[in-house]
């Protein structure tokens, strides 16, 4: 999916969260959003996922304006991963994964799809575990399986490693990058961690609601 923010401004009564942001993301591209707390990273993710609307400017999906009429379909085609996992504590891993598709009419077997996604994150054998029985890294894997259960074409991740130690976080980032390729998703990832950002194709730096840098990541020397 191609995604573009065109001259997007998002204002709150006390401050301008985004100020004339132009950002185009190619199909299958991964872009890291970096910058200090409050610089507008989450706001960009919410606008990209159709969970928030710009005050000025527009959001384009595959070259078409994301109008009110298209919002629901766009949200269903978007996966979201959070810093604090946001799993439902009383539900098993599998039921957490299935939560987004339960209220929907779908053309696939939900259980089968849920198990497929748990397998994709390496947790098929923990399908019946409760979140409290899982480690932080495992909880984030369940949350990733949940984000993928509707087979989104766009994956949005907001500080997905922010609550994990660096080794576990590294594993989560590698998993996200592999899944992005496997399921051919476009990805936006907000992070404070420079190493996490460097796993993406591009790093966009924000400050006070504006883009102050936009750099292609050079391939790692060991990948050449």
Q: Rule CB under 6 A: which residues touch ligand ADP?
A: 12, 15, 17, 35, 37-43, 82-84, 158-159, 190
Instruction: State CA 158 to chain mean position distance.
Output: 6
Nearer to ligand ADP, 150 or 209 (CB): 209
Nearer to ligand ADP, 25 or 115 (CB): 25
Residue in 218, 148, 143 with CA at minimum distance from that of residue 182: 148
> In whole angstroms, how close is the CB of 160 to ligand ADP at the nearest point?
9
> In whole angstroms, how close is the CB of 192 to ligand ADP at the nearest point?
9
The Cα-based distances of 199 to 59, 116, 186, 220 in angstroms read 25, 25, 14, 9
> In whole angstroms, how close is the CB of 216 to ligand ADP at the nearest point?
22
Contact 189, 200 (CB under 8 A): yes
Nearer to ligand ADP, 43 or 92 (CB): 43
Kindly tell me the sign of the dihedral angle through the C-alpha atoms of 190, 10, 87, 109: negative
d(CA 196, CA 199) in angstroms, rounded, equals 5
Nearer to ligand ADP, 12 or 89 (CB): 12
Residue in 124, 170, 163 with CA at minimum distance from that of residue 145: 124
> In whole angstroms, how close is the CB of 65 to ligand ADP at the nearest point?
22
175's enclosing H/E stretch is: helix 166-182
> In whole angstroms, how close is the CB of 159 to ligand ADP at the nearest point?
6
Nearer to ligand ADP, 14 or 107 (CB): 14
């Amino acid at each position: 999916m191609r995604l573009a923010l065109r001259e997007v401004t998002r204002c709150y009564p006390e401050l301008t969260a985004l100020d004339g942001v132009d950002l185009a993301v190619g199909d299958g591209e991964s872009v890291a959003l970096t910058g200090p707390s409050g610089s507008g990273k989450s706001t960009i993710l919410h606008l990209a996922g159709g969970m928030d609307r710009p005050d000025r400017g527009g959001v384009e999906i595959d070259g078409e304006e994301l109008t009110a009429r298209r919002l629901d379909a766009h949200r269903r085609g978007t996966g979201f991963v959070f810093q604090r996992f946001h799993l439902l504590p009383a539900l098993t891993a599998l039921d957490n994964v299935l939560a987004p598709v339960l209220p929907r009419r779908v053309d696939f077997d939900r259980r089968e799809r849920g198990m497929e996604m748990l397998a994709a994150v390496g947790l098929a054998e923990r399908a019946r575990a409760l979140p409290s029985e899982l480690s932080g890294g495992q909880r984030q894997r369940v949350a990733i399986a949940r984000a993928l259960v509707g087979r989104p074409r766009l994956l949005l991740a907001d500080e997905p490693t922010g609550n994990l130690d660096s080794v576990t976080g590294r594993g989560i980032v590698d998993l996200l990058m592999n899944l992005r390729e496997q399921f051919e998703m476009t990805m936006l990832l907000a992070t404070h961690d420079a190493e996490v950002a460097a796993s993406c194709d591009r790093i966009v730096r924000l400050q006070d609601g504006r883009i102050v840098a936009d750099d292609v990541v050079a391939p790692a020397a060991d990948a050449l």
